[in-house]
Each structure stands twice: as C-alpha cells, then as structure tokens.
Chains A and B, each alone.
Chain A
Amino acid sequence: MTEENPMRPYLGTLVGTRKLATNIRLFQIELNDPAERDKFSVWKPGQFLFFSALGVGEAPFGFANIPECGPAIEVAINNVGHVTRHIHMLPLGSTVGIRGPLGNHFPMEEIKGQNIVVLGGGIGGAPLRPVIQYILNHRADYGHLTIFWAARSPDLLVFTDEYDEWNSAPDTEMHVTIDRPAEGWTGNVGLITQILEQVAPSPESTTTITCGPPIMIYFVGKTLNKLGFSEDQMLITLEARMHCGIGKCGRCNMGEKLVCLDGPVFRQSEVSTFLESFL
C-alpha cells in the first residue's frame, strides 16, 4: 500500500502470560520490528488495541498497563468467545498481531491536581490499571487516590498481587469488595455501590473514573450523584463490538457516536445525552 494502512497489524511475540482470575489471563506482547515498537509505545491510559490470534480473528481490548511500565504491552483477556478462547490457548513465543493504539484516552493532563476515585468492576479493572500506574508514577501531580475494586466473587478479582502496593502508596486508599459472602473471604462483602456510599468520597475537586459492565456504570453513576458528584465529574469507558476500530465498519455506534473514534472514554454527562443506551 502506498498509504498508511490502519487495518494492517504489527506482528509481535507473546512474551508472557499468566492467570489473573477465573477465565481471565494477562498477556504480554512485544512487537517484533523496533521501528514499529517505537511508534506504538505512545499509548495512553484508556486507549485500546486490536489483538489478533492470527488465523482465528481479532478483537479489541483496553491496554492494561502504560508504556512506562513496559516494555511489553499488557492486556487482560476474558475467555468468552471464539477469538478469546483461541487467544487463551496461545503458547509462549506465538506470533500475534497488534493494531493500535486506538481510541481516545483518559485526560490525565486535564485532571492533574484533582483527587481521583477509580471504580472497577470485574475485568473492568484492567483498563483502570494504567490510570493507577500513571498516578503512582506521577504521584505529586494528583491529589488523593481512592480505588474501589469489585467482583462477583474472590476468584474474579484481577491483579490481586498488586493491591498491597496500591494500598500502601502515598495518599492512596483501596477498598476491595465481593458481591456475596464466600468461604475464606474476610474482606468487604457488598456491591460496589454500597461500599462507595459507605466510604462516601467527597466530590470536591474530584474526578471519578469507572469501568465495568454497563449496568454497573449506571448504578455507580446514580450513587455518585447521590454523593454530590455531577455527571461532568464522571469519566467512564464503554465497550463495543468492533471490527475496524477506525470508524469505518459502523458496528460500534451508540447513536451518532462511534465508540472507537469518539470514545471509548466519555464523560457521563455526554453519555446521558446519547440517543441509544445499553439499558
């Protein structure tokens, strides 16, 4: 092609993989070509990439780390369908395809100086990890950090081995909760909205960032409202089924917005004006 071809993946190698939770694995990829690697390593929290299991298919996933915490690209993938099932079976050293970075990003520059409340439900925590990593790496630029991390059950919590590091970071607190009591679990039990209400972070100079299933984003939004947050203060990230990620295949539209181009990061105030919703 004489022009840049955004549908063409960069080839990379699977350099690491580990189990994060039931049906969820973390994958670490390094791009093969050094020039492509450099070009790619500008991704920001909130963006996404397309991961190809070559010969099987391609699917979009949010970045689960930042380039500063590289050099490998990290993504957390839930085994829910045809492509993800094959990704889960990939042996180390496999050649994979990566396209991106795509989409917009969390406005980390814009929210400097703010207190940040991060809310992650299930695998929704994975795209929030880059936010946490960025804040911890630039700690002085941000105010108090409150992390709410939830899952239906303990075996679905992601990045459990990093909670201690996050919790003990300066000016940071973390609240982990599971939906229902489980044997051996001594932590919080209750929905993320319940623990959010209990902790009741102040809305003053605060930005919230939520990621999880649509229904969770909705109810968290309602609770934040109750606590005095305006929809303008709430950042969310939407998922969608995508085939191109560049605004051509038409599949990811929510009304006149394309999740791949106008998002996946949106302010809740914007989402509330969308013609279409998941609910």
Chain B
Amino acid sequence: MRFIDTQTLRDWLDALARQVTLIAPAPSNIGEAPGLVNPPAAGMYALYQPVGSADEIAWDFQRTAMSAREFLFPKTETLFTIETDASGKTTLHEPKVEQPQVIFGIRPCDARGMRVLDAIMLEQEPADAYYAQRRRNTTLVGLSCPEMWENCFCTSVGGAPNSSEDVDILLTQVEDGYAVQIVTEKGEKLAQGIQLQEVEGLALPEPKLNETFEMPTEQTWLDSFNDVYWDRVGERCLGCRACVYVCPTCRCFDVRDEKVVHPDGSGITRRVRSWDSCQGVNYRTVAGGANPRANPDQRSRNRFYCKFYYVPTDYDVPFGCVGCGRCIAVCPVNIDISEVLHDLAQRGKA
C-alpha cells in the first residue's frame, strides 16, 4: 500500500499550487450570520475554492457547503462573445479553457456527482464542449470520509465514503499521513511528482456508516406519479431553489445574451449561461403562457423524479443522486429527500 506522510503531502500541494489551479476545501464565513438559527455543523462550513498553499486548506472539514461541480460547470460561463465593429462587421470568439486544475480533497460523493454529470454532458451526444474542456483539464484527488455524517446517505445510492470509483487518486487518512490509491492513468501522471512510500500491511480504517435504507423500485416511481403524496411534499416548498444550487448533480441552466453598445455603433455581446432550477415557478412556462408545472407539488415532484427516475432511465448511471445530504441540510422547510425515499419505498410495499 502506498503512503504519504502529512508534511510531504503539504509540500507537494504547495508546489502543485504554483503549477496548476489547485482547488481544495477552504474555510468560509457561512456559519457567522447572527440570524442563522440552524447553523451547519462546524465541519460543514468549507467551500471548494482555489488555494495558493496547503495552509489555506480547511484540513478539518467534513463536507463542503457547496459541491465541486462549479469547477466543471461554472455558476456563470461565457459561451462566446460576438464583437461588432463600427462598420457592422461581426466576429465570434469562443473561449478556450486550457488551464489544468486539480481538485484536492474531493469527497467520493462529489466525485460520483461528476460521474453523473459526465453521463449527461459528455456521454449523451452531442457533448457539451465547455464541460468537456474543463473535464479534460481536471484531475481529482479524493479524500475518503472517516465516517458518514448527519444527512449522508451515499451507501443507499450505490456509493461509499471510501469509494475510489470516480477519482483519479484516493487518499485515506491514517496515522501520520495518508494511504494512497492511484486509480487512473491521469492519477498516475499526477503522482509522478510525489514521493510515495511503500508500506507493508497498512490497514485502511473502516469508515463509520449510517444505516442504509431501501430504495423504491422503478415500478413504485411509475405507480406513484399522480399520488396526492406529492401535494403534501410540495405545499410547504417555498420554491427557494437552495436544494438545486448545493446539489452535485443538478445541471439545468439559463442562457441570455448580454450586450454592450458603444456610441459609434460597435458593441460586444456575451452569450452567458448560468445555473437555473426546475424549482422556480416560471421555469417551465412556454411561449403563450402554458406551464405543465404550474403548481409547487408538480415542481417538487419533478426534482425527485429527475434524480431517481428520469436520469437513471435516460443515462447510464444507476441514480441521479449521490446521497451527499446537502439538500436536506439546507432546505428551510425540511423537505428531506431521504424521508421521501423512505415513504415511497413503504408505499411500494403496501
């Protein structure tokens, strides 16, 4: 089993930060609003951010407040710009993203989230060129979770807190350092810069698990679509959309042209895309005003079906949800995805 001691790891990260964009969990002010009545646990304040050194990393983090998807699929992205000169001549420029990035400390659930996004953005043709660029330039150095925390349920959706399936390198904390598993070729390439030791008989700690629960069957999902249960879930939903923004697998976006015109008639248009959410009231309204999801229960229902029925049906992944539990933590009215799954599984048995 390969091993790296803590200091060597930190030195390597310091050097890496000078070569690539190094993204890692870093501290944030999230817990500090005086009015926050349900502040997240102290280990849940971190956010994945670019860091300049190992010192900037929140080494004691448990789970970040936001997922890492913004580094493959930014919250706002310029798709292209169109410049018009004073004579009316138009040229289109597409951005190139070539800067390599390493996401250090990504949890297995967030890495699984990227796998789900890969299925949607890359494997389903035609591929999204912007996501493809960033994905190609990204190496994932995962960090096993020592335990499953409050709201975590990755093991119920085919994941595990120590899973190496979706990362390029997986680190697991042991005494004095980390056990190192090189998983992919990309990981192998990145690891060429690291001094790793071979340690005989290094035992990997077993993470403390939460109870795994039974998932509803595909048939139950189909049978329950028109159930009044969704009214009961949706009626307290505020449409606040926080669940979507913290989710590792959500990918809905809005597109707009934003234009600046100069007095001489020249101008520049940016076509931008930004994260959007199916939980918004007018998300699905069409020209003419019709909206198949005009009611909050229909919108709430769409989110659950998308994660557990539509995505598994349309793409080659077993679930569209990775069990990270962020939506549970963040929902102001306690719409709890694990409660919904449990209720539906019970319905299926009845």
B-binding residues in A (CB < 8 A): 1-9, 11, 52, 54-59, 78, 80-81, 84, 95, 97, 213-214, 239-241, 243-244, 246-251, 253-256, 258, 261, 275-278
Contact of B79 with A7 in the complex, beta carbons under 8 Å: yes
Stretch at the interface among B13-21, B50-58, B250-258, B322-330: B250-258
- Bound Cα distance from A55 to B290, whole angstroms: 26
What residue in chain B is nearest A60 (Cβ atoms)?
B287
List B contacts of A6 (CB < 8 A).
Answer: 126, 128-129
Min distance, Cβ B118 to any Cβ of chain A, angstroms: 12
Known: A1-B94, A1-B133, A253-B306. A240 touches B286 (CB 8 A): yes
- Bound Cα distance from A97 to B271, whole angstroms: 12
Contact of B82 with A55 in the complex, beta carbons under 8 Å: yes
Q: Can you list 7 A-B pairs, Cβ within 8 angstroms, ordered by A?
A: A6-B126, A6-B129, A8-B92, A241-B284, A243-B273, A244-B255, A256-B314
B283 part of interface (Cβ distance < 8 Å) = yes
B59 part of interface (Cβ distance < 8 Å) = no
B124 part of interface (Cβ distance < 8 Å) = yes
Known: A241-B284, A255-B310. A57 touches B257 (CB 8 A): yes
Known: A4-B126, A5-B129, A243-B255. A81 touches B287 (CB 8 A): yes
Known: A3-B132, A80-B288. A55 touches B257 (CB 8 A): yes
Contact of B257 with A54 in the complex, beta carbons under 8 Å: yes
Known: A248-B253, A253-B310. A3 touches B129 (CB 8 A): yes
- Bound Cα distance from A70 to B80, whole angstroms: 29
Contact of A1 with B287 in the complex, beta carbons under 8 Å: no
- Bound Cα distance from A97 to B269, whole angstroms: 12
List B contacts of A246 (CB < 8 A).
Answer: 126, 128
A-binding residues in B (CB < 8 A): 79-80, 82, 84, 88, 90, 92, 94, 96, 120-121, 124, 126-130, 132-133, 222, 225, 251-257, 259, 261, 267, 269, 271, 273, 276, 278, 283-288, 290, 292-293, 298, 302, 305-306, 309-310, 313-314
Contact of B290 with A58 in the complex, beta carbons under 8 Å: no
Closest A-B pairs by Cβ, 4 of them:
A250-B252, A55-B259, A5-B129, A256-B310
Contact of B286 with A248 in the complex, beta carbons under 8 Å: no
- Bound Cα distance from A277 to B285, whole angstroms: 13
Known: A248-B121, A248-B253, A277-B292. A95 touches B259 (CB 8 A): no
Contact of A78 with B287 in the complex, beta carbons under 8 Å: yes
- Bound Cα distance from A171 to B10, whole angstroms: 81
Contact of A258 with B314 in the complex, beta carbons under 8 Å: yes
Min distance, Cβ B199 to any Cβ of chain A, angstroms: 41
List A contacts of B269 (CB < 8 A).
Answer: 54-55
List B contacts of A277 (CB < 8 A).
Answer: 292
Interface of B is mostly: mixed
Known: A55-B269, A275-B305, A277-B292. A1 touches B257 (CB 8 A): no
Contact of B255 with A58 in the complex, beta carbons under 8 Å: yes
Contact of A3 with B92 in the complex, beta carbons under 8 Å: no
What residue in chain B is nearest A241 (Cβ atoms)?
B286
Contact of B287 with A241 in the complex, beta carbons under 8 Å: yes
Min distance, Cβ B117 to any Cβ of chain A, angstroms: 10
Contact of B253 with A214 in the complex, beta carbons under 8 Å: no
Partner of B257, one of A58, A256, A276: A58
Contact of B96 with A57 in the complex, beta carbons under 8 Å: no
- Bound Cα distance from A277 to B313, whole angstroms: 18
Min distance, Cβ B73 to any Cβ of chain A, angstroms: 9
- Bound Cα distance from A214 to B292, whole angstroms: 11
Min distance, Cβ B348 to any Cβ of chain A, angstroms: 17
- Bound Cα distance from A254 to B286, whole angstroms: 13
Min distance, Cβ A181 to any Cβ of chain B, angstroms: 25
Which of A55, A213, A256, A261 has the most CB atoms of chain B within a 10 A radius of its CB?
A55
- Bound Cα distance from A59 to B251, whole angstroms: 20
- Bound Cα distance from A254 to B298, whole angstroms: 12
List A contacts of B276 (CB < 8 A).
Answer: 249, 251
Min distance, Cβ A76 to any Cβ of chain B, angstroms: 13
Contact of A239 with B121 in the complex, beta carbons under 8 Å: no
- Bound Cα distance from A244 to B127, whole angstroms: 12
Known: A11-B90, A256-B314, A258-B314. A52 touches B287 (CB 8 A): no
Contact of B129 with A4 in the complex, beta carbons under 8 Å: yes
List B contacts of A55 (CB < 8 A).
Answer: 82, 257, 259, 261, 267, 269
List B contacts of A3 (CB < 8 A).
Answer: 127, 129, 132-133
Q: A1-B96, A241-B287 are in contact. List 13 more A-B contacts (CB 8 A).
A: A3-B127, A7-B130, A8-B79, A11-B90, A54-B257, A54-B269, A80-B287, A240-B286, A248-B120, A248-B128, A250-B253, A276-B292, A276-B293
Min distance, Cβ A96 to any Cβ of chain B, angstroms: 10
Known: A5-B129, A95-B90. A56 touches B259 (CB 8 A): yes
Known: A52-B257, A248-B121, A250-B251. A278 touches B94 (CB 8 A): no
Contact of B287 with A250 in the complex, beta carbons under 8 Å: no
- Bound Cα distance from A97 to B79, whole angstroms: 14
Min distance, Cβ B279 to any Cβ of chain A, angstroms: 12
Partner of A239, one of B80, B96, B256, B286: B286
Known: A56-B257, A57-B257, A95-B90. A7 touches B128 (CB 8 A): yes
Min distance, Cβ A182 to any Cβ of chain B, angstroms: 22
Contact of A214 with B290 in the complex, beta carbons under 8 Å: yes
List B contacts of A214 (CB < 8 A).
Answer: 290
- Bound Cα distance from A58 to B126, whole angstroms: 19
Min distance, Cβ B288 to any Cβ of chain A, angstroms: 6
What residue in chain A is nearest B278 (Cβ atoms)?
A250
- Bound Cα distance from A9 to B92, whole angstroms: 9
